[in-house]
Amino acid sequence: MGQIEIAYQNLYTFCLIVMGLCIVVALSRSVRGPEIADRILAINMIGTAVISAILVLTGLLEETWLLDICLVYVLISFLAVAVLATVYIRRQKKEKKEGDK
């Protein structure tokens, strides 16, 4: 292995460690809250970090099938955040309607 490959491998490893730390921080934020919007945003951040980690693993392992998994995960993550946001908006409207009575 040449020096360039070792440097890239170290860079990929460093990026994966940083993304893992970001996931842990976002997970703690999604548990603590305090608002539901903060939790939804933290879940979206976790999804984005996982997508980035899969892309880094694609470069590290040189496996192109991981890109397919990444695309599927992007779609699922987007759909999950859209559903959570819709539920949150409906709940807010319902609470507002009940508060007006």
Q: What is the pLDDT of residue 36?
A: 86
Q: Classify the phi-psi angles of 19: left when phi > 0, otherwise alpha if psi is within -120 to 50, otherwise beta.
A: alpha
Stretches where the chain sits below pLDDT 50 are none
**Fold of the 3-100 domain:** Helix Hairpins (1.10.287)
Q: Which is nearest to 84 in space by CA: 55, 35, 44? A: 44
pLDDT of residue 33: 80
What pLDDT is recorded for position 95?
83
Stated as kind and residue range, the H or E segment containing 53 is helix 36-61
Contacts of 6 (CB under 8 A, 6+ apart): none
Q: What local confidence, expressed as pLDDT, does residue 100 receive? A: 75
**Per-residue model confidence as pLDDT tens digits over 48-71:** 999 999 999 998 898 999 999 999
pTM of the model: 0.82
Name the residue ranges covered by the structural domains of the chain: 3-100
